[in-house]
Amino acid sequence: MVTHRLLIPGPVDIEEDVLAALASPTVPHYGPAWAEQYHDVVGGLKYLFGTEGDVYPIVGSGSTGLDSMIASFVATGKRMAVVRNGYFGDRMATIANAYGVHVHDINGEWGRAITVETVRQALHEHGPFDVLGVVYAETSTGALNPLPALSALAKEFGIPILVDAITGFAGTPLELDAWGIDMCVSASQKAMAAPAGLAFVAVSAKGWAYMDANPVGPRGWILDVRTWRKYAKDMPGYHPQPATMPTGLMAAVNVRLKQILSLGKAEYVAKHVRAAQRFRTGLKSIGLDYLVPDAEATPQVTPVLIPAGHDATAMITQLRDRYGFVATGGMGILSGKIIRVGHMGKANNDAYIDDALEALADICAS
């Protein structure tokens, strides 16, 4: 298989020592040695989430984590306000609808962060609501929603907040406990730069208090975080999770977490910020522009605007075939209008960025 350098906003190109851990020999998913590694992973994830609560590494994609969060937290018939200013805000609403939750859309412009006032007005005029849902870093547009302020707003209205931080985790500041977030989801393959296959579901003490007081009724088993809490409590030193785990993937995640922890999460965030700034400054220098204003942009992904006279699909094809880069286009209403370039994993080093800029300049000049 031909290999390319990934510029997509996840999954990302991964460091070799992390990949090597993925290929480590299979070990039992139970016993004291396994439990020690499992708790190492959970401890590192709690540090990155900024919580003293619980984090569960559930097998599956980020969407699996969203499914778990909504299934565990929001009972059928409850009213959930969902910020929808991108494709993944739509996905959160779709999952909630699938569980019989009544969703009210708080619509925003694709390519802009939602404003606190827009959300405040919706909560005031269309409430009361039982919960607020928001995507932190909207992968489809590159917009970063103002999560600390939105969490404070939810508290003001007396409702919990559920957060999709699948892209926002690790590459931007995130403090569940300090910001008052009830439940939050991420995944292994984005800014954390580990292999795909694990969803991380974080529950704060405040989130548990709400769930214990507001049971959802029968909602399955393996995706119910109460199941994970029971095993973590009953067998912490031997079998701290309810089912078989991908032990090689957990080993790879553990290696990556130790790398991030040795750097410190503030510096790890700063790496993504510097990468985005370098790329966006370079875009301007070659006559290209990007969709999201700097003050509202997430550092993990840049949506490059397609210049007049060029075609998004053709540009993506040339990036791959002539220059060995894999990028991806816009989603939904942004299809054909942007190329999304990720700055996660190896793609946040200078060589990837400068080579990608040179490739884009050549394509636009031809």
> Mean pLDDT throughout 90-102?
98
> Mean pLDDT throughout 80-94?
98
Confidence of residue 327 (pLDDT cuts 50, 70, 90): very high
pLDDT for residue 263: 96
- Res 25 pLDDT > 70: yes
pLDDT for residue 2: 56
pLDDT for residue 92: 98
Backbone angles phi, psi at 328, to 5 degrees: -140, 160
Q: What is the mean pLDDT of the chain?
A: 97
- Candidates 145, 239, 254, 245; CA nearest to 192 is 254
pLDDT tens-digit series, residues 184-240:
999 999 999 999 999 999 999 999 999 999 999 988 999 999 999 999 999 999 999
pLDDT for residue 3: 78
**Going from the N-terminus, what domains does the chain have, and what CATH number goes with each?**
5-11+265-365 (3.90.1150.10), 16-261 (3.40.640.10)
pLDDT tens-digit series, residues 339-349:
999 999 999 99
Burial of 160 (0-12, 13-18, 19+ CB in 10 A): buried
- Res 297 pLDDT > 80: yes
- Res 1 pLDDT > 70: no
> Mean pLDDT throughout 283-296?
98
Contact 73, 162 (CB under 8 A): yes
Give the percent of the chain with pLDDT over 90: 98
Residues 47 and 64: their CA atoms lie apart, in Å, by 22
Count Cα atoms within 13 angstroms, Cβ side, for 183. Answer: 25
> Mean pLDDT throughout 126-131?
98
pLDDT tens-digit series, residues 248-277:
999 999 999 999 999 999 999 999 999 999
pLDDT for residue 10: 96
> Mean pLDDT throughout 38-55?
98
